[in-house]
Amino acid sequence: MTQLTLVIGNKNYSSWSWRPWLAMKQAGLDFAEIRIPLDTPTSHQEIRRYSPSGRVPVLLHNDLTIWESLAICEYVAEGFAPNLWPKDTAARAVARSVSTEMHAGFVSLRQNMPMDCRSRHPGLGMNASVQADVDRITAIWRECREKFGDGGDLLFGHFTIADAMFAPVVSRFVTYEVHLDSVAQAYAEAVWALPAMQEWVLAANNEVESIETIQH
| pLDDT confidence of residue 212 | 72
The string of pLDDT tens digits covering residues 98-128 is 999 999 999 999 999 999 999 999 999 999 9
pLDDT above 50: residue 216 = no
Which residues lie across from 5 on neighbouring strands?
32, 60
Q: 80-109: b or e for each residue (b if 16 or more CB lie within 10 Å)?
A: bbeebbbeeeebbebbbebbeebbeebebb
Q: What CATH number does the domain located at 4-82+202-206 have?
A: 3.40.30.10
pLDDT above 70: residue 136 = yes
* pLDDT band for position 2 (cuts 50, 70, 90): low
Yes or no: say if 24 and 17 are a contact pair by the CB < 8 Å rule.
no
Q: Which of 63, 64, 88, 84 is nearest to 74 (CA)?
A: 84
Beta-sheet strands, E only, within the chain: 4-8, 31-35, 58-61, 64-67
Distance between CA 117 and CA 119 in Å, rounded?
A: 6
Q: Which of 37, 148, 165, 48 is nearest to 96 (CA)?
A: 165
pTM comes to 0.95
pLDDT above 90: residue 96 = yes
Q: Which of 125, 102, 97, 10 is nearest to 56 (CA)?
A: 10
DSSP state, residue 2: P
* pLDDT band for position 64 (cuts 50, 70, 90): very high
| pLDDT confidence of residue 209 | 85
Q: How many CB atoms lie within 10 A of CB 69?
A: 27
Q: Report phi then psi at 124, rounded to 5.
A: -65, 135
Q: Beginning with the edge strand found earlier in the chain, give each strand of the sheet holding 64-67 in spatial order.
A: 31-35, 4-8, 58-61, 64-67
Distance between CA 78 and CA 75 in Å, rounded?
A: 5
In CATH terms, the fold of domain 83-199 is Glutathione S-transferase Yfyf (Class Pi); Chain A, domain 2 (1.20.1050)
pLDDT above 90: residue 183 = yes
3-state secondary structure of 83: helix
pLDDT above 80: residue 26 = yes
Q: How many CB atoms lie within 10 A of CB 115?
A: 23
For the chain, give every domain's residue range: 4-82+202-206, 83-199
- Average pLDDT of the segment spanning 36-55: 93
The string of pLDDT tens digits covering residues 187-202 is 999 999 999 999 999 9
